[in-house]
């Protein structure tokens, strides 16, 4: 996709249009990963039950998925439910699962229309049969799509993923000496996908909360105070613009010694 594509979907004098013009579309992050956080705080700030924050967050998911595809991001991963999130009250967990099903039902058409491939990463076995079936149906319906890949991390834990990958590697019968980083990565849930170059976290926490631990080795991190239900295309564009100003050194010396990395 491109600038002109994006500009047809935003008002000409809007902040989004101004931000879109600052993006270098030839140097987009290949994979953007998002820790969608702050739904509970968003609700508390409005004296609403937590679940209303989750409900409002669906609009942000919709906007982020569509905007990412329009911008031309190759892979988008959204962290929707961690292995640790089972510690929450059962009513909240049930509400989250219900909202997930609602999202899938209402958005499958849009995913198909936008040529988006939907995939689940995590351990689906602990999810209910109804949720698993709907997820599998959405994966199957979008499997042939060739545009953006949209991963949803559900019952996902970074350490659990690494342990699962180790088990798969052992079961594959691969000799220990043949195991290198590239081969190991091929046993992860994200096999074949580029590592995230940009990781976004909403609502201000400076932690990774067990998300994509292997894959974020060299991701650039962008944290915003914006609560997830308020996150929109303009925030995504701000993150991409900030990403494009970073000096990614990968442990080497700077190729632009005068640049200050922000």
Q: Which of 6, 67, 79, 195 binds ligand IPE (CB under 6 A)?
A: 79
Instruction: Indicate whether 33 belongs to the interface with ligand IPE (CB under 6 A).
Output: no
Residue closer to ligand IPE by CB (options 24, 84) is 84
DSSP secondary structure string, 181-210? Answer: HHHHHTTSTTTTSPPPSEEEE-TT----TT
Q: Which of 6, 10, 20, 37 binds Mg ion (CB under 5 A)?
A: 37
The single residue of 5, 63, 85, 145 carrying the catalytic annotation is: 85
37 is catalytic: yes
Residue 62 phi, psi dihedral angles, 5° rounding: -60, -50
d(CA 192, CA 149): 11
Cα distances (Å, whole numbers) of residue 192 to 168, 171, 195, 262:
15, 19, 9, 30
Nearest approach, Cβ of 207 to ligand IPE (angstroms)? 6
Nearest approach, Cβ of 37 to Mg ion (angstroms)? 4
Piece of the chain touching ligand IPE by CB under 6 A; list 20-28, 109-117, 134-142, 204-212: 204-212
Tally helices (H) and strands (E) across the chain. 9, 6
Instruction: Indicate whether 42 belongs to the interface with Mg ion (CB under 5 A).
Output: no
85 is catalytic: yes
| C-alpha torsion angle, residues 148, 167, 97, 138 (rounded to 10) | 40
Instruction: Indicate whether 85 belongs to the interface with ligand IPE (CB under 6 A).
Output: yes
Site of interaction with Mg ion (CB under 5 A):
37
Residues carrying an active site annotation: 37, 85
């Amino acid at each position: 996709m491109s600038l002109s594509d994006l500009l047809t979907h935003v008002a000409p004098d809007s902040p989004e249009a101004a931000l879109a013009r600052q993006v270098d579309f030839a140097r987009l992050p290949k994979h953007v990963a998002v820790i969608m956080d702050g739904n509970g705080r968003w609700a508390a700030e409005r004296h609403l039950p937590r679940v209303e924050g989750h409900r409002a967050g669906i609009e942000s998911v919709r906007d982020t998925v569509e905007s990412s595809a329009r911008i031309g991001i190759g892979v988008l991963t959204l962290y929707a439910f961690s292995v640790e999130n089972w510690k929450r009250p059962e009513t909240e967990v049930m509400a989250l699962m219900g909202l997930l099903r609602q999202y899938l039902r209402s958005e499958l058409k849009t995913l198909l229309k936008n040529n988006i491939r939907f995939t689940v990463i995590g351990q689906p076995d602990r999810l209910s049969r109804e949720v698993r079936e709907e997820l599998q149906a959405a994966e199957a319906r979008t499997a042939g799509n060739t545009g953006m890949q949209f991963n949803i991390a559900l019952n996902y834990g970074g350490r659990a993923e690494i342990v699962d990958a180790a088990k798969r590697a052992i079961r594959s019968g691969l000799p220990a000496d043949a195991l290198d980083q590239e081969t190991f990565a091929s046993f992860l849930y994200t096999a074949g996908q580029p590592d995230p170059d940009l990781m976004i976290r909403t609502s201000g926490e400076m932690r990774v909360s067990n998300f994509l631990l292997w894959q974020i080795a060299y991701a650039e991190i962008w944290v915003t105070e914006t609560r997830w239900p308020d996150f929109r295309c303009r925030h995504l564009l701000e993150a991409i613009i900030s990403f494009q100003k970073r000096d990614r050194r990968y442990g080497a010396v700077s190729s632009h010694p005068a640049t200050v990395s922000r």
